[in-house]
C-alpha cells in the first residue's frame, strides 16, 4: 500500500507525520472521504470543491492547485492498483510549535490514503440499521461550522460511542434547538406519504455529497423533496428513514429509539433510491 505524503509515495509503515503537526495537536485541518467505483473517482469535483472551501474558510493554504490535487488522487489510486475502494484525503495545518498560532505552521501536510472499504453487509441494506438519538448536540455554526469538514470529530466520536453503548449501528444527532441534524457520519432523510425530507444544512448537517446525489436522483425520478427542519417525532412516525454517506451509500434505519419504522425493513423508496444511486456511481466519475 502506497501512501501519498507531501508529494512522495511512501510505504504504509513509513508514512509518518510529526508530533508537532497541528492536526495531531489541535485537530487543525480538514479532510475528505471519497469513493472509487469501477476505477472512477466518484463526484471528485464536489469533494475537491468542499475541501478547498473548507480550507478557505479556516485560512488553510493547500500547497497543491486543484488540478495538482486531482492528479495526486489519480496517481495514488493507480500506484495502488485500486478499482473499487475509498480515498481518505487529509490536509492538516502542518508542523508548528506547541502554541496554537497557525502562523507557526509554514506548510500544510497533505496525505492521501487509498484503501479497501469495510462496508455494511448486503443484508444490512435490506434489514436496515438500528439507530438511537443521542444527547451530544451537533456543532453550531461559527464555532464548529458543520459545513467545514474539519478534523474536529470529537462530537461525532462521542455520538458513535453512545450508539455503540446502545447496540445501534447509527445515531441521530440533534442540534441545540432539538431539530434533527444528521447521523454520526451520515446525512439523514425521512419519507412520509411519498415525500422525501432532509434537514437543511443550517440546522447542523454537513452538505453531504451523497445527500446531493440523492436529491438529484429524486428530481430525476420525480419524487417530491422538501428540505426543511424536522423533529424526532417526525422520524418516529415516518414511513421510511435512511442515512446517506460516502461509505454507507443509502442505508435504511428500521428502528429508531425502539420505535419500528414502517414495515421494519428497508422501504420501497429507500430501496429505489439505492438502486438508482448504484446506477450512477458506475458512470459518473473522474477516470
Ligand atoms: N455528515 C458527517 C458528519 C460526515 O462526516 C459525513 C461524511 N462521512 C456525511 C455527513 C456524509 O457526507 P458525504 O455524503 O459527503 O460522505
Distance (Å) of CA 22 to CA 33, 41, 43, 92, 112:
20, 29, 29, 7, 17
Whether residue 21 contacts residue 92, with contact meaning beta carbons closer than 8 Å, is answered with yes
Whether residue 151 contacts residue 90, with contact meaning beta carbons closer than 8 Å, is answered with yes
Residue of 107, 130, 147, 149 with catalytic role: 149
Q: Is 250 in the pocket of ligand 1 (CB under 6 A)?
A: no
| Strand blocks (E) in the chain | 2-5, 8-11, 29-37, 40-42, 85-92, 109-115, 129-137, 170-174, 180-182, 187-192, 195-198, 225-227, 240-245, 249-256, 259-260, 285-286
For cell 500544510, the residue is 108
Taking the C-alpha atoms of residue 205 and residue 41, their distance in angstroms, rounded to an integer, is: 24
Residues in the chain: 287
- For the chain, the average pLDDT equals 95
Domains observed in the chain: 2-115 (3.30.470.10), 124-286 (3.20.10.10)
- Tell how far the Cα of 97 is from the centroid of ligand 1, in angstroms: 31
Whether residue 246 contacts residue 210, with contact meaning beta carbons closer than 8 Å, is answered with yes
pTM: 0.96
- Tell how far the Cα of 98 is from the centroid of ligand 1, in angstroms: 30
| Strand blocks (E) in 12-84 | 29-37, 40-42
149 flagged as catalytic:
yes
- Tell how far the Cα of 187 is from the centroid of ligand 1, in angstroms: 6
Helix, strand, coil in percent for the chain, rounding step 5: 30, 30, 40
pLDDT for the residue 243: 98
The answer for residues whose C-beta is within 8 angstroms of residue 216's C-beta and 6 or more apart is none
pLDDT for the residue 286: 66
Per-residue pLDDT of the chain (287 residues; tens, 9 = 90+): 999 999 999 999 999 999 999 999 999 999 999 999 999 999 999 999 999 999 999 999 999 999 999 999 999 999 999 999 999 999 999 999 999 999 999 999 999 999 998 788 999 999 999 999 999 888 776 667 888 999 999 999 999 999 999 999 999 999 999 999 999 999 999 999 999 999 999 999 999 999 999 999 999 999 999 999 999 999 999 999 999 999 999 999 999 999 999 999 999 999 999 999 999 998 766 66
Extract the C-alpha cell encoding 146.
458543520
Q: Is 33 in the pocket of ligand 1 (CB under 6 A)?
A: yes
Taking the C-alpha atoms of residue 27 and residue 42, their distance in angstroms, rounded to an integer, is: 27
Q: Is 187 in the pocket of ligand 1 (CB under 6 A)?
A: yes
Extract the C-alpha cell encoding 198.
432532509
ipTM for this model: 0.99
- Span 69-111, pLDDT tens digits: 999 999 999 999 999 999 999 999 999 999 999 999 999 999 9
SS3 for 253?
A: strand
- Span 10-23, pLDDT tens digits: 999 999 999 999 99
Q: How far is CA 123 from the centre of its chain?
A: 22
Q: What does the radius of gyration of the chain's CA atoms come to, in whole angstroms?
A: 19
Atom 10 in ligand 1: which residue has the minimum CA distance?
186
Amino acid at each position: 500500500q502506497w501512501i501519498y505524503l507531501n508529494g512522495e509515495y511512501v510505504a504504509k509503515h513509513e508514512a509518518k507525520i510529526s508530533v508537532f503537526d497541528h492536526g495531531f495537536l489541535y485537530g487543525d485541518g480538514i479532510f475528505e472521504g471519497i469513493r472509487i467505483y469501477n476505477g472512477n473517482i466518484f463526484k471528485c469535483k464536489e469533494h475537491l470543491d468542499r475541501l478547498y472551501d473548507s480550507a478557505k474558510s479556516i485560512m488553510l493554504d493547500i500547497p497543491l492547485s486543484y488540478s495538482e490535487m486531482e492528479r495526486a488522487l489519480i496517481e495514488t489510486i493507480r500506484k495502488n492498483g485500486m478499482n473499487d475502494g475509498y480515498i481518505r484525503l487529509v490536509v492538516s495545518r502542518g508542523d508548528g510549535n506547541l502554541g496554537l498560532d497557525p502562523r507557526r505552521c509554514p506548510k500544510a501536510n497533505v496525505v492521501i490514503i487509498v484503501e479497501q472499504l469495510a462496508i455494511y453487509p448486503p443484508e444490512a441494506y435490506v434489514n436496515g440499521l438500528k439507530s438511537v438519538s443521542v444527547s451530544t448536540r451537533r456543532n453550531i455554526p461559527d464555532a464548529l461550522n458543520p459545513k467545514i469538514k474539519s478534523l474536529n470529530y470529537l462530537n461525532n466520536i462521542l455520538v458513535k460511542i453512545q450508539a455503540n453503548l446502545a447496540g445501534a449501528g447509527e445515531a441521530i444527532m440533534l442540534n441545540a434547538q432539538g431539530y434533527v441534524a444528521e447521523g454520526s457520519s451520515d446525512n439523514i432523510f425521512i419519507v412520509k406519504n411519498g415525500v422525501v425530507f432532509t434537514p437543511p444544512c443550517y440546522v447542523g448537517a454537513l452538505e453531504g455529497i451523497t445527500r446531493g446525489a440523492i436529491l438529484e436522483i429524486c428530481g430525476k425520478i420525480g419524487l417530491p423533496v422538501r428540505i426543511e427542519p424536522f423533529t424526532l417525532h417526525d422520524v418516529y412516525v415516518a414511513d421510511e428513514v435512511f442515512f446517506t454517506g460516502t461509505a454507507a451509500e443509502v442505508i435504511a434505519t428500521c428502528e429508531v429509539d425502539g420505535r419500528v419504522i414502517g414495515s421494519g425493513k428497508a422501504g420501497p423508496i429507500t430501496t429505489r433510491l439505492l438502486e438508482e444511486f448504484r446506477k450512477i456511481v458506475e458512470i459518473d466519475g473522474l477516470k
